């Protein structure tokens, strides 16, 4: 083994095993019993038995919407999606802090909480054009050594409802967006086939994936998912399509939910959930049993859509378990998988966790097990991205920091 650039001493794996971990060039090079690698070079951090977990994955954020850093903005939106869209346009005019500054604030908050990779949406419409995609690609570049960022070009005001948006989505993929987004084909555009045909054509032509916000409820929403499944297979996009929210699956009877889950699994369509407060949850057990990958995201954080959110994916795992009445260790472990391995797989990242050959994207915290870490949600977290310490005890450090000589 070459001398490690970082040696993590006496960490506790999720199964309770105590280990030392050597990191070389950002990759976990070796995992050994404590003391076996003593005397190797590199910076050493004594974890003193802290729990060592894979970095957290936030699979659904809106970096360009947050007000973080701005003075408090009272929530003024009505309850419907359309009212919230209209309200957001109005509120945006009064926000003096730039999108770039606010997005940076949210990135630093997310990293401080332990997020090492994330997927963000970037609004695209004929008024702002590709401005938010451009801003978020710059934010991605600025923080590239701190967190991996995937960008979805998101038609917040609809695709057909705002003529010219489909062309902008395609242009966005040339300007740095990794995916094209969609939004409620039935209720926002009033033309399910029309929106989906455009999105899938762009995705196939540009070789990118799709992530569709689906708030449309009940059977209407389920039928839209069926249409997505048909197109996913027809365009060869299996494994590259995500449905965000999918509230409809929590509003139909068990038989329909199960049948739809099986259809999604065959087509390779993922679901991402934020465990929203008063809205229906998709049946995660049913989806997972059918073979659907289900992961988790923060969604809106302190923006025109929600005054809440803190980018803490351990808290999101707790909220998922809380909403579903999950209390047993194995259920809480499933919630944890949704904020780590499942999210990593959906974003096309290594899903091996703390393993030799995996990226050294890690968090260490004072807990003895995953359920305890999620119950406690301590702010005392050491966050490591590609073998470099990027945050400590809730404070963002940034990319320039080498590992300290001791903890
Ligand atoms: Zn969203």
How are beta strands 179-183 and 209-214 bridged, if at all?
Answer: parallel
Question: Phi/psi at 52 (nearest 5 deg)?
Answer: -110, 120
Please tell me the distance between residue 308's alpha carbon and the centre of ligand 1 in angstroms: 14
Could you give the 3-state DSSP secondary structure of residue 82? helix
Please tell me the distance between residue 25's alpha carbon and the centre of ligand 1 in angstroms: 35
Please tell me the distance between residue 54's alpha carbon and the centre of ligand 1 in angstroms: 24
Per-residue pLDDT tens digits for 183-233:
999 999 999 999 999 999 999 999 999 999 999 999 999 999 999 999 999
Please tell me the distance between residue 61's alpha carbon and the centre of ligand 1 in angstroms: 6
Please tell me the distance between residue 394's alpha carbon and the centre of ligand 1 in angstroms: 25
Please tell me the distance between residue 109's alpha carbon and the centre of ligand 1 in angstroms: 18
Could you give the 3-state DSSP secondary structure of residue 125? strand
Q: What is the pLDDT of residue 273?
A: 98
Q: Which of 324, 329, 322 is nearest to 373 (CA)?
A: 329
Two structure tokens written together for 89:
């346009």
Please tell me the distance between residue 1's alpha carbon and the centre of ligand 1 in angstroms: 44
Per-residue pLDDT tens digits for 237-286:
999 999 999 999 999 999 999 999 999 999 999 999 999 988 899 999 99
Please tell me the distance between residue 274's alpha carbon and the centre of ligand 1 in angstroms: 9
Please tell me the distance between residue 19's alpha carbon and the centre of ligand 1 in angstroms: 39
Mean pLDDT taken over the chain: 95
| DSSP letters spanning 301-370 | -SSSS-S-----HHHHHHHHHHHHT--SHHHHHHHHHHTTHHHHHHTT-----SSTTSB--EEEES-SSH
Per-residue pLDDT tens digits for 303-352:
999 999 999 999 999 999 999 999 999 999 999 999 999 999 999 999 99
pTM over 0.85: yes
At residue 406 the predicted structure's pLDDT band, cuts being 50, 70 and 90, is very low
Q: What is the DSSP letter of 2?
A: P
Please tell me the distance between residue 265's alpha carbon and the centre of ligand 1 in angstroms: 22
């Amino acid at each position: 083994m070459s001398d490690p650039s970082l040696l993590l001493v006496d960490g506790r794996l999720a199964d309770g095993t105590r280990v030392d971990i050597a990191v070389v060039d950002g990759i976990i090079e070796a995992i050994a019993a404590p003391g076996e690698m003593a005397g190797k070079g590199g910076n050493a951090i004594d974890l003193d038995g802290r729990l060592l977990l894979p970095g957290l994955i936030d699979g659904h954020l809106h970096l360009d919407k947050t007000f973080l850093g701005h003075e408090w903005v009272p929530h003024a939106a009505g309850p419907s999606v359309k009212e919230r869209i209209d309200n957001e346009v109005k509120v945006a005019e009064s926000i003096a802090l730039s999108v770039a500054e606010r997005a940076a604030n949210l990135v630093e908050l997310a990293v401080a909480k332990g997020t090492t990779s994330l997927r963000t949406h970037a609004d695209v419409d004929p008024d702002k054009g590709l401005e938010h995609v451009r801003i978020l690609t710059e934010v991605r570049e600025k923080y590239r050594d701190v967190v991996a960022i995937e960008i979805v070009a998101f038609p917040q005001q609809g695709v057909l409802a705002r003529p010219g948006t489909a062309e902008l989505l395609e242009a966005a993929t040339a300007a740095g967006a990794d995916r094209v987004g969609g939004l409620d084909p039935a209720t926002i555009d009033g033309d399910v086939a029309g929106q989906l045909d455009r999105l899938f054509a762009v995705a196939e032509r540009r070789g990118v994936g799709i992530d569709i916000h689906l708030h449309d409820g009940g059977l209407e929403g389920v039928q839209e998912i069926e249409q997505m499944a048909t197109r996913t297979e027809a365009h060869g996009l299996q494994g590259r399509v995500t449905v965000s929210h999918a509230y409809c699956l929590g509003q139909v009877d068990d038989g329909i939910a199960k049948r739809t889950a099986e259809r999604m699994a065959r087509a390779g369509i993922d679901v991402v959930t934020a465990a929203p407060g008063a809205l229906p949850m998709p049946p995660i057990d049913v989806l997972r049993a059918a073979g659907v990958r289900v992961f988790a995201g923060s969604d809106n954080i302190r923006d025109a859509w929600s005054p809440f959110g803190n980018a803490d994916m351990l808290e999101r795992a707790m909220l998922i378990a809380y909403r579903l009445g999950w209390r047993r260790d194995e259920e809480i472990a499933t919630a944890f998988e949704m904020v780590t391995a499942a999210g990593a797989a959906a974003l096309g990242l290594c899903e091996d966790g703390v393993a030799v050959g995996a990226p050294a994207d890690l968090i260490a915290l004072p807990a003895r097990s995953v359920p305890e870490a999620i119950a406690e949600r301590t702010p005392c977290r050491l966050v490591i991205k590609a073998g470099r310490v990027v945050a400590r005890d809730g404070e963002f450090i940034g990319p320039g920091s080498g590992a300290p000589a001791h903890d």
